[in-house]
Structure formats: structure tokens, C-alpha cells
Structure 1
Amino acid sequence: MAKESSDQTQGVPSFEYNPATQQQPFLFELSRPIEDLEDMLLHEFAGKTITMNEIYRQHHVGRNYIQSNYKSALLSLEIKGIIDVYNPTGKKRRKGTFADHLTVKFPVKK
């Protein structure tokens, strides 16, 4: 169903029909869903250490976000230096990847 949505802003499916397309967008597009997801994750998981898979399982219900959106948001937060990410297997990660088993440590809310 996500692939059939007529609109995907930053890869997040809208699950709705939207007459605007990439070729003919609306004049003002204010939606930044990946950044919104980053903020939600920082707020809801503040001070916690949890795997990517558990983050997705606990947070995605009732939201339009798909698993790849969570990985994009977490990778962005890691690149910005906001979260710490650990590989419990000890193996080195390939650049730009975010596996389900990775452990994420969120900062304490200020």
C-alpha cells in the first residue's frame, strides 16, 4: 500500500491521494516528516538504550512511517552526533547502513 500512495514526502508514504506531484508540486511544501520523526524519537525514547527493531515495533503503530523511514531518521541523528549507536556483534558497519539489531542510546531530555 505504501508504494501505491500518490505522495511520498522524504520517503514517508501519505496513504492518500494527492494531486500534486514532483513535476507539479504545491507552491509551499512545509512538510518535513523525517525531521518530525527525529524529534518524536528523541522525545519518546529520551534516556533509553534500545535496538532499532524495538524502536520501530514500539513507535510505528498508527503512524504513516515505514521501517526505512526510522532507519533514515536514526542515521541522520547519528551523523549529527545526537545519538550513540553500538553494534552488539562488534562488527564494523558499512557506511550509510542501519541494521535492525543495532543498539541506539538516546540522550536524556534537557
Structure 2
Amino acid sequence: MINQPYVPRKATAYFSEPLIIPLKVSKSESKVVSHRTVVTTEFFVLSDGVKKVYTEQDAIADCGLQQMMNPANASYMNLFINGILQPKINYLVSEGRLLLLTEDVPEKGCPIVLQMIQI
């Protein structure tokens, strides 16, 4: 083999078939510690561009039954504004009420999703 200087080539990628990458998968092991019931509730609303307080009456009607669980009963809460997970300091939840603590409000039409999980 003759040592030739490296000459970069222009990258082109044209695939007529899917690229298959072999992966070595080891046997997974899992142990059941206990069986628990997990309850999740969601609240979906679209921002009106003005309000910082949303109640269950503001929920999007086409998304089925929605409610805000009493925060004392929730193990975890996640708030997503426009698909971005919000830090806890940005909101306050009480039963049936979501209060945004940010200085500004989400733009009109921006989706707000509150997910509550009880384990």
C-alpha cells in the first residue's frame, strides 16, 4: 500500500435502501419489586396571549376528559409550554387551577400541557 496524502471528498449520501447497522443486544434482566397503580391526568389548553391563570373550564374540548389533580395527591407534575418542559418555579398548581409565575405570557395559540402523575 502506497502512502498517499489524505484528500477530503465531498460528502454525498444517496441510499436506495435503508441503512442497517448491526447492534449487539445483551439479554436484559428485570425484577419486579412491587405492583403499583399509576394514575395520570392531563390538562391541555391553548394560550390566549393574555391570561396567566387557567382553569379546567379553559381545557381544549376535543381532548377528552381533562382535570387537574389535587397537587397534594400528585407524585409528579410536568408543565410543557410549546413542547418545552418548564421548571417548577415557573408555575403553581392548585386543584382545578394553573397559575403561570413567569413575567411574560405564552403567545396566543401556544399549547400548554400539564401532566400529573400519581403513584
Q: Do they fold alike, i.e. is TM over 0.5?
A: no
Which one has a larger percent strand, Structure 1 or Structure 2?
A: 2
Higher helix proportion, which one?
1
Structure whose alpha-carbon radius of gyration is higher: 2
